[in-house]
Amino acid sequence: MQMKFFKKCWRHGVTSLVLLGLFAACSPQEEISGQIFVLDGDGTPKPLALVDVNFFPREAADQFLARQYRDWQEELLKQEEQLQEIRSDLAFQRVMIRELTGDKERLQRRLSEQRERIREKYREEMSPLRRALERNIELIENMESGPPRPSGPVPTSREWDRYQEDLERWQEKSRSEREEWRRELLAANAELEAQIEELETQRDAEIGEWQGRLEKTRETLAERRDLVEKYEQDIKRIEENKDNPPPISQVIRRMGEPVFQTQSDANGNFALALPSRERFALVARVRRTIRGTEHEHAWIFWIDPREQAGERILLSERNSLHGQSLDEWRK
């Protein structure tokens, strides 16, 4: 039972294929022929061999190219909106740069002023501590021999009084007392040095805070400038895209598989029989390298086999779409 069913299906399938073949064979056809060539430097035609000549249904090709053109127009609108946003943000960034530049200059002046003010403030606080530290060191060094006499031919009354005071204190103390005094002075010196170090840390921290503000402003300013440079490059790129629509040779690469195809022979000739009731788009493209420079030629011709039967189609540099954009071609 199953074998009879499969035999019946096979007979129907073969019959359908035969009918389709007969229909294609009986469909009226016209031969389309032509030649592809370029001109050498002396004007002599040079045939181009092994060039694929593709045929697409005209309506489908026209719809494809129209869609490509529409997509490009829509992309232009998107890029124009993007361009407006970038220009708006660019203007804002430039305003911010002007403000940050002013902030940086004010901070530089402020830092210079604050640095001197802070140093003077801590200098005043540390000066008595340093003087006390120096005096203690002097007393320790002269613990055995007694305080040194004032230097200079005529000591001042203050220097002399201070010498007398130190001398009396030294004379009043025994050796063990002087040792105890020495230890007290060393301890006092350690405390003084700690106080001075703490003040120096506070001073550096205050100055560092102002320097940090300035450095942060400089970093922000550099970031804004980098952003402005990027925006300017984006604007240049978008404007170049607006002024340079996609070349037609690039567009036709995306046309997909043709319904008919042939190839030029050694003399650049091509020929193909096409159904006369249909209309087609002939599409061909070739790339050549001349003296290290690559040249690309592309052709699109609308073909009506009934009207162009027996007519030779010549594809050359003169009717090439080389350098033409999709926008120019549609115009």
For residue range 9-62, list pLDDT tens digits in order.
334 443 433 343 444 445 688 888 999 988 776 677 888 889 899 999 988 888
Predicted pLDDT of residue 291: 67
Contact 123, 218 (CB under 8 A): no
How far apart, in Å, are the Cα atoms of 104 and each of 90, 119, 223, 228?
20, 22, 14, 18
pLDDT: which is higher, 171 or 270: 270
* Alpha-carbon radius of gyration of the chain: 48
Parse the chain into domains and list their residue ranges: 28-78+247-330, 93-243
In the chain, what percentage of residues exceed pLDDT 70?
A: 79
pLDDT digits (tens, 9 = 90+) for 27-37: 688 888 999 98
Distance from C-alpha of 291 to C-alpha of 156, rounded to nearest angstrom = 98
Name the CATH code of domain 28-78+247-330 (choices 1.20.1050, 2.20.25, 3.40.630, 2.60.40): 2.60.40
Res. 331 pLDDT band, cuts 50 70 90: low
Q: Which two tokens stand for residue 185?
A: 């002075």
